[in-house]
Each structure stands twice: as structure tokens, then as C-alpha cells.
Amino acid sequence: GENVEQHPSTLSVQEGDSAVIKCTYSDSASNYFPWYKQELGKGPQLIIDIRSNVGEKKDQRIAVTLNKTAKHFSLHITETQPEDSAVYFCAASGGGYQKVTFGIGTKLQVIP
């Protein structure tokens, strides 16, 4: 089955700096890579996703990049703000009936 590794497990940045979270996946058939943000006491919320036919996708301050050859994908948050503090999960799935497999999560702390 699919295995998703995510690092770092914790990340502290100063407000205004950039944050990068990296993930690798094992199944070359995976073709969909979503990212979720989970705030304390809430369920994970989908913030951005990318499909395997695209190398990069941006949405305001967040962007995701995908390197299919290396099986790497990353989340980039620019101009971080205190409200970006949360746990972020990467995930991978293979399309069709394959389940979504999550990374272990990264706790991001943005220091004002």
C-alpha cells in the first residue's frame, strides 16, 4: 500500500517568514495530493491540492509543488501569520477506489 512520510514534525517560524513542509510517497500510481490544515479542536480542512499532471499550484500565500520523478511534494506558505499556526497534513491517493493515505502531520507555530 501507499506510504507517506512527512517532515518536519514541528516547525517554528517568525511572523512574515516562509514555511516549507515536505512529503514523499511510495506508490507511483498515486495521482492526487491534497493538503489539510487542522486547528485545535477541529477537523482537518482542505487548503490546497495538486494532481499529478501539474507541477505547481498557487493560491494566494500558499503553494504546492510536485516532483513525480522523485515522488516528492511540498507545501510552501509565504508571509506567515499567527493564524497559520496549526497542524498540517499531506496526503496521497491513487484515484479510483484507493484510500487517501496521510502523513504524520507537521505542527507549525508562527511566532508574532
Partner 1 sequence: KAGVTQTPRYLIKTRGQQVTLSCSPISGHRSVSWYQQTPGQGLQFLFEYFSETQRNKGNFPGRFSGRQFSNSRSEMNVSTLELGDSALYLCASSVDGNTIYFGEGSWLTVV
The contact set with partner 1 (CB under 8 A) reads 32, 34, 36, 42-46, 49, 89, 93, 95-105
- Cβ-based nearer residue to partner 1, 4 or 77: 4
- Closest to partner 1 by CB, 16 or 51: 51
Q: Which residues contact 95 (CB under 8 A, 6 or more apart)?
A: 29, 31, 32
Nearer to partner 1 (CB atom), residue 16 or residue 95:
95
Nearest distance in Å: CB 17, partner 1: 26
* Shortest distance in whole angstroms from residue 93 CB to partner 1: 5
| Contact call for residues 1 and 28 (beta carbons, < 8 A) | no
Of the pair 98, 109, the CB lying nearest partner 1 is at 98
To the nearest whole angstrom, how small is the minimum distance from the Cβ of residue 14 to partner 1?
26
CA distances from residue 65 to 52, 82, 89 in whole angstroms, order as listed: 10, 23, 15
Residue 112 beta carbon to partner 1: minimum distance, rounded to whole angstroms: 26
